[in-house]
Structure 1
């Protein structure tokens, strides 16, 4: 399904929204994150895929590859860690601790009993556990029945206590909040609810790093230059990533911002349903998708405040379309580098292909031969066994092909 958003406008960035998320605060988060040794040094690649662009009938296709951000490869390492640091700085304000010292573990002795808890589909929990281990505090992660043992083990490897419940992602969010209230723990969630917005805001603000890097890598340094992209296709989920990206672009370019399209699994269409209802709403499906990171049933109300006026279209893709996109991006081409794109990471590509294959959708999305499209590969093979099963080759094989391709340029 593809719908246009009746609430979308082209205007300068709303002053009230800027008080919540801004380029200035995103840049501060970016500077703080640079002190975390878990992250790869420098920006993640912005790959140009001219062969795939030609196949889609557009001028340019750029893929921001967050699989390279940190092991095991997910954009979530930009959100949970910065939210955790900001939480600790607020809780221990009198200490005047810095992000550099916290990420270096210099205050671990004083934080040994400080406990954070969160629900996850996999990547957010992994990122929070990794940050907690670096900082020296305790971490509890609540997972649901659809999270693979492979993902659960990767979280536990960072010393987190993993609790599995019999329910879906939304049930795990409720359980994490219950445990926090019972034990005096601190919830570090990437979704918001009534009375809980400060930490989700910090999570979303961390994602601004992706937008900042992509803009710089595409050769645009400020709002005085034209936006290098006409379209940005973004993953759905609860809406946090999309909100972090659209807020950055909208503040920078206002009425000249790119067209934003959000892509979700058919079974987890909470953002599309929010556009139809014109308020934060629930998904209509089972919320059980191979795109595990996007298998969310409830829109984050805070994220929706940013998406409602800025996202031009919402669409859904099915699991088979996502799997096909994984294989396409892994194969590469004569001029296209092979990329390890995870099940949720390729949602934007799956959406681009769906738009190309449906003339009516393509027209409503204003995609044409002059379009310059940005996609974000939000994850690599975060579940290597599943990746191999779906793609028919291992992530290591694809990475080897990537190395060969880039060395032959």
Structure 2
């Protein structure tokens, strides 16, 4: 399914608050915070010339977030950044002076952090980031997971010292339960989705993702003409689209939001013209994108700066995982988790459909940018779908110009 953006706000400027969160100045500040993380290095950017030739476009570049901060996902940039910001803000309030990230590991800051508990709901990756951020600053973390989250992903979060709570139902049920319990206990919810009256912290999470875009723009030989990014609640898609719109203005690349067909809350919101909660159906293999209601902040941004919305099927996602693990020609091998290659799957589907090609002006001159948002965050599931263990896939490391 494919739908050009027909919202009345399409191409209008971003809301000033969103522009402040996602602008160049804010992104530079995120990068400054990252410079205080001992394991921070830019993630690789790979050229896929073989795939580009097959699809009939000039270039395809993929940013590989499977190497991000030891967590294997772009989410490492968001939750932990928000936790650090919140701890430093609380320290500033209590110490009655501005406390900078340079003081993150001081005794004073850790003493304050030790009395704080952060909480969130997660499909896996965001919870790991929040838990890692809490461990880094000495705070406590309680992470809520729904019944569909694998034991492997739960264990990956728990290793950061987080308390884990299982919730029956879907991701959206776990979001509601996390908010309820946190309010009751006086904890701070660090969610990557937003709802009425709760926008600032999800905005900080999205702000963390802008560092990934700045890295990519430095690594790319020329700016992209088209960007395909997958969406769950829409946070990463909105962060990437919003930052590109602010950085390039009228010269920004064409931006396409890619949803799983079984959890297409942004596609259905675009069709309705307003945020909608869709019915929970059969689970999607793209587990990190299995969300049934969009983030309000993300929707507000995407309704203005996304050019189109589309969906991909289960077989599309699995095919991309296998294609990246067994590339042709000079393309590097890349480990992409079940949700990691959904944006690329959108490109492949678009390139195979003449009507979508025409609508997006996708041609042999197009320079396409996509993001592998996660590596094999569930190695057992990856091996089932690809037929190889992730450690057996010889991943090319480093950036290709």
Same fold (TM over 0.5): yes
Alpha-carbon offset, residue 91 of structure 1: 2.2
Residue in structure 2 matched with residue 74 of structure 1 by the alignment: 73
2:321 is equivalent to residue 326 of structure 1 = yes
Residue in structure 1 matched with residue 253 of structure 2 by the alignment: 258
Residues 211 and 103 of structure 1, relative CA distance in 2, 3 Å threshold: farther
Cα shift readout 1:33-74 (whole Å, capped 9, x = no counterpart):
22122x432x11110000000111100000011111122310
SS of equivalent to 2:206: helix
Residue in structure 1 matched with residue 359 of structure 2 by the alignment: 364
C-alpha contact 1:103 1:131 (8 A) present in aligned 2:
no
Alpha-carbon offset, residue 242 of structure 1: 0.9
Question: Which consecutive residues of structure 1, in runs of 5 or more, have no partner in the other structure?
Answer: 221-227
C-alpha contact 2:350 2:357 (8 A) present in aligned 1:
yes
Cα shift readout 1:88-113 (whole Å, capped 9, x = no counterpart):
22223233332233267873333223
C-alpha contact 1:5 1:313 (8 A) present in aligned 2:
yes
C-alpha contact 2:14 2:301 (8 A) present in aligned 1:
no
C-alpha contact 2:265 2:277 (8 A) present in aligned 1:
yes
Q: Give distance in 2, aligned partners of 1:402 and 1:157.
A: 28
Residue in structure 2 matched with residue 402 of structure 1 by the alignment: 396
Q: Which residue of 178, 182, 187 corresponds with 2:184?
A: 182
Residue in structure 2 matched with residue 173 of structure 1 by the alignment: 175
2:302 is equivalent to residue 307 of structure 1 = yes
Q: Give distance in 1, aligned partners of 2:317 and 2:71.
A: 20
Residues 138 and 105 of structure 1, relative CA distance in 2, 3 Å threshold: farther
Residue in structure 2 matched with residue 2 of structure 1 by the alignment: 2
C-alpha contact 2:91 2:109 (8 A) present in aligned 1:
no
Correspondences of 1:58-69 after superposition (within 5 Å): 58-69=57-68
Deviates more, 1:150-159 or 1:210-219: 210-219
Residue in structure 2 matched with residue 340 of structure 1 by the alignment: 335
Q: Give distance in 1, aligned partners of 2:395 and 2:271.
A: 43
Residue in structure 2 matched with residue 149 of structure 1 by the alignment: 151
Residues 234 and 190 of structure 1, relative CA distance in 2, 3 Å threshold: same
Deviates more, 1:355-364 or 1:307-316: 355-364
Deviates more, 1:363-372 or 1:257-266: 363-372
Deviates more, 1:53-62 or 1:25-34: 25-34
Q: Give distance in 1, aligned partners of 2:27 and 2:151.
A: 34
Residue in structure 2 matched with residue 33 of structure 1 by the alignment: 34
Residues 271 and 114 of structure 1, relative CA distance in 2, 3 Å threshold: same
TM-score by length of 2: 0.94
Residue in structure 2 matched with residue 111 of structure 1 by the alignment: 113
Q: Give distance in 1, aligned partners of 2:89 and 2:54.
A: 50
Cα shift readout 1:112-138 (whole Å, capped 9, x = no counterpart):
231010000000001111111111100
2:100 is equivalent to residue 98 of structure 1 = yes
Alpha-carbon offset, residue 388 of structure 1: 0.8
Q: Give distance in 2, aligned partners of 1:308 and 1:105.
A: 44
C-alpha contact 1:294 1:344 (8 A) present in aligned 2:
yes
Question: Which consecutive residues of structure 2, in runs of 5 or more, have no partner in the other structure?
Answer: none
Q: Give distance in 2, aligned partners of 1:68 and 1:103.
A: 24
SS of equivalent to 1:70: helix
Which segments of structure 1 move beyond 6 Å, counting only runs of 4 or more?
A: none
Alpha-carbon offset, residue 362 of structure 1: 2.0
Q: Give distance in 2, aligned partners of 1:117 and 1:378.
A: 23
C-alpha contact 2:258 2:343 (8 A) present in aligned 1:
yes
Residues 246 and 72 of structure 1, relative CA distance in 2, 3 Å threshold: same
C-alpha contact 1:40 1:68 (8 A) present in aligned 2:
no
Residue in structure 1 matched with residue 160 of structure 2 by the alignment: 158
Alpha-carbon offset, residue 252 of structure 1: 1.3
Cα shift readout 1:187-231 (whole Å, capped 9, x = no counterpart):
0000001111110000001111111111111146xxxxxxx1110
TM-score by length of 1: 0.92
Q: Give distance in 2, aligned partners of 1:120 and 1:233.
A: 23
C-alpha contact 1:323 1:343 (8 A) present in aligned 2:
yes
2:382 is equivalent to residue 387 of structure 1 = yes
Residue in structure 1 matched with residue 127 of structure 2 by the alignment: 125
Alpha-carbon offset, residue 243 of structure 1: 1.1
